[in-house]
Amino acid sequence: MRSIFLTCILLAGMSWASAQRANYDVVPQPKSVRTDTAQVFTLRSGMGIAFDNNDAELSRTAGFLCQWVEEATGIRLMLTPDDKQAAIRLALEAPAGRKVRKSVKVAPPTEQQLEGYTLEVNASGVDIRAQKQVGLFRAAQTLRKSLPVGQTQSVGLPFTRIADQPRFVYRGLLLDCARHFFTVDVIKQFIDVMALHGCNQFHWHLTDDQGWRFEVKSLPRLASEGSVREKTVIGPGNMRIYDNIPYGGYYTQEDCREIVRYAAERYINVVPEIDMPGHMMGALHVFPNLGCTGGPYPVAPHWGVMRDVLCGGNPETLDFLKTVFGELCDVFPSRFIHIGGDECPKDCWRKCPKCQAKIEELGLKDDGRHSPENQLQTYLNHEIEQFLASRGRSLIGWDEILAGGLTEDAIVMSWRGTKGGIEAAKQHHRVIMSPNVYAYIDHPQLKDYSRQPRTTDSYQVSCSKIYSFEPLVPDALTEEEQNCILGVQANLWTEQVAFPEHAFYQLLPRLAAMSEVQWCRPDQKNFEDFRRRLPRLEQFYDRLGVQYCKQVE
Ligand code: ACM
Ligand code: ZN
């Protein structure tokens, strides 16, 4: 009896002791981790985080780290400029000096290397070093995720040396705020969650048939009227049963600037999308003269692909688009601007005298690969590409922009599988892979649809499915072509997702699976190992108070 009692105490003691230890088995897994679990540095309240306090950006990251340590463990650290007193030291370092003969050219660091960092724990504490501020932030996130979650007096940090950098430069997540509107506060939570997973591109889907959500100051009715649909279809699929409740909401330019600022502080770029020339019912409702038939057009109360699109032959269409993209560029500093381009049926264009006259004027002929109407879409894309280039930006479009021939600098976001991405990479265009069967997290994550909230329901996109995705498609692309793949993105469309709790449930933990596709090299990836590391990350979801699916398939 006594020995059972002692064993229980010993076991309890062991679990207590191990609970107070940091563990570097984080998600996404760093590139290299060499840990000596026999030795620890003990972190306690009152210890310092040192950094150059003349550096405001570094000071902000140090502040985040201080906050995260306290949130996770209750340990209160102090910010200090004094290295000697500090347990954690954050510092920028010059690129490692390599002695080379003058004649030898040294390749400049890649963007991935510039996001890299080292994190070393030894008897004198924690040293975090990076060439760029972003690297220090990523390192601080790794240290955060290594901490045990729960109030404690001290944490033993096993000695380690972590050297890390992401695999891809573009690590995106799309949130559709057109089908359903999410408040600025919810979007900030999204951005916090993205930062926790090392994502760096927030693709903000701002306009669609069901609502225009970006304030254009010179066209104020777009937001005030184009954002409101009279009712919303309810029920699964596209059954035409409506709730008869008006639904609206839009982001002022101030809101957008606030999101851009908040994201930038977390080293996330905001890629805004204005979807054109299809998915435009919000705008057509306000400006029916921009449609081929003249309307009237309701803001769409149901989902799907609408037949009515912007008229490709009306010169006012381009004036309108340049006004919109002009204000978009004023608000969003992103070097990437998304112009949509998907699902634009050409029925109206085929019948429209203005569209046909424009096709005639431009001399667009069916060349066996590209119909004249698809080429007319390319003409619009080209005009917008030139406009964006004059503002120093590059255009991203969904893979339908291949149909009329790509414009010179277009970046293709491949969503209908990887086919479009492969075709674009073979043409040496930059590509972001976001294939629906691996990346559409509006789909169910569990096999049993009845055990989860309603979703888009044609196929399952499980964690393991996402995890298995290899974005470079080496079977189809040469090494040179693979260099065109900038990265990977998960997309959360929200036809069926009306509330933040549901959105986070759809997102998590699938974003964790996607984050390893985005961050880790294939030889590092192992789904069973990912599953083993996931529960520790989920403790952070709990801390952040966000919903997630508790089952992983
Ligand atoms: C898309 O899912 N229509 C890009
Ligand atoms: Zn037309």
Which domains, and CATH codes, for the chain?
A: 20-94+111-164 (3.30.379.10), 170-544 (3.20.20.80)
Residue nearest to atom 2 of ligand 1 (CA): 415
- Say if residues 278 and 285 touch (Cβ distance below 8 Å): no
Q: Where in the sequence numbering do the catalytic residues fall?
A: 208, 279, 343
Choose one of 396, 398, 413 to mutate for the ligand 1 pocket test, by most ligand atoms within 8 angstroms of C-beta: 398
- Distance between alpha carbon 417 and the CA centroid of its chain, in Å? 18
Choose one of 342, 399, 433 to mutate for the ligand 1 pocket test, by most ligand atoms within 8 angstroms of C-beta: 342
- Say if residues 498 and 444 touch (Cβ distance below 8 Å): no
165-195 core/surface letters (b: 16 or more CB in 10 A; e: else): bbbbbbbbbbbbbbbbbbeeebbebbbebbb
Q: Helix 184-196 crosses helix 500-507 at what angle (to 10 degrees)?
A: 20
pLDDT at 14: 38
pLDDT at 378: 98
Question: Ligand 1 centroid to 415 CA: how many Å?
Answer: 6
Per-residue pLDDT of the chain (553 residues; tens, 9 = 90+): 444 444 444 443 333 444 499 999 999 999 999 999 999 999 999 999 999 889 999 999 999 999 999 999 999 999 998 888 799 999 999 765 555 566 666 788 888 888 999 999 999 999 999 999 999 999 999 999 999 999 999 999 999 999 999 999 999 999 999 999 999 999 999 999 999 999 999 999 999 999 999 999 999 999 999 999 999 999 765 668 999 999 999 999 999 999 999 999 999 999 999 999 999 999 999 999 999 999 999 999 999 999 999 999 999 999 999 999 999 999 999 999 999 999 999 999 999 999 999 999 999 999 999 999 999 999 999 999 999 999 999 999 999 999 999 999 999 999 999 999 999 999 999 999 999 999 999 999 999 988 888 888 789 999 999 999 999 999 999 999 999 999 999 999 999 999 999 999 999 999 999 999 999 999 999 999 999 999 999 999 999 999 999 999 9
CA distance 7 to 238: 61
- The owner of tokens 């400006």 is 287
pLDDT at 15: 37
3-state helix, strand, coil split of the chain in percent (to 5) is: 40, 20, 40
Question: Ligand 2 centroid to 232 CA: how many Å?
Answer: 28
Give whole-number Cα distances, 501 to 279, 505, 508, 545, in Å: 26, 6, 11, 10
What amino acid is encoded at 10 in this protein? L
Q: Bridge-partner residues for 160, per DSSP? A: 35, 121
Give whole-number Cα distances, 553 to 365, 448, 470, 493, 525, in Å: 49, 11, 18, 21, 16
pLDDT at 12: 37
Question: Ligand 2 centroid to 513 CA: how many Å?
Answer: 43
- The owner of tokens 């997309």 is 491
Structure tokens at 481: 């072509």
254: left (phi over 0), alpha (psi -120 to 50) or beta: alpha
CA distance 226 to 284: 8
Q: Bridge-partner residues for 253, per DSSP? A: none
Residue 209 in contact with ligand 1 by CB distance below 6 A? no
Q: Where are the beta strands (DSSP E) in 333-463?
A: 336-340, 394-398, 411-414, 431-433
CA distance 235 to 254: 35
Ligand nearest to the CA of 340: 1
Structure tokens at 356: 């046909």
Of the chain, the end-to-end C-alpha distance in Å amounts to 42
Q: Which distant-in-sequence residues (6+ apart) come within 8 Å of 231 by Cβ? A: 242, 243, 244, 245, 246, 247, 301
Structure tokens at 384: 């917008």
Give whole-number Cα distances, 144 to 68, 154, 320, in Å: 6, 14, 46
Give whole-number Cα distances, 379 to 236, 306, 328, 397, 417, in Å: 37, 21, 21, 14, 25
Ligand nearest to the CA of 313: 2
- Say if residues 291 and 310 touch (Cβ distance below 8 Å): yes
Residue 343 in contact with ligand 1 by CB distance below 6 A? yes
Structure tokens at 532: 């083993």
- Distance between alpha carbon 368 and the CA centroid of its chain, in Å? 37
In order, the DSSP letters of 16-70 are HHHHTB-----SSPPSEEEEEEEEEEEEETT-EEE--TT-HHHHHHHHHHHHHHH
Question: Ligand 2 centroid to 175 CA: how many Å?
Answer: 30
CB atoms inside a 10 Å sphere around CB 122: 14
Omega within 30 of 0 (cis) for the link into 509: yes
Question: Could you say which DSSP state residue 187 is in?
Answer: H
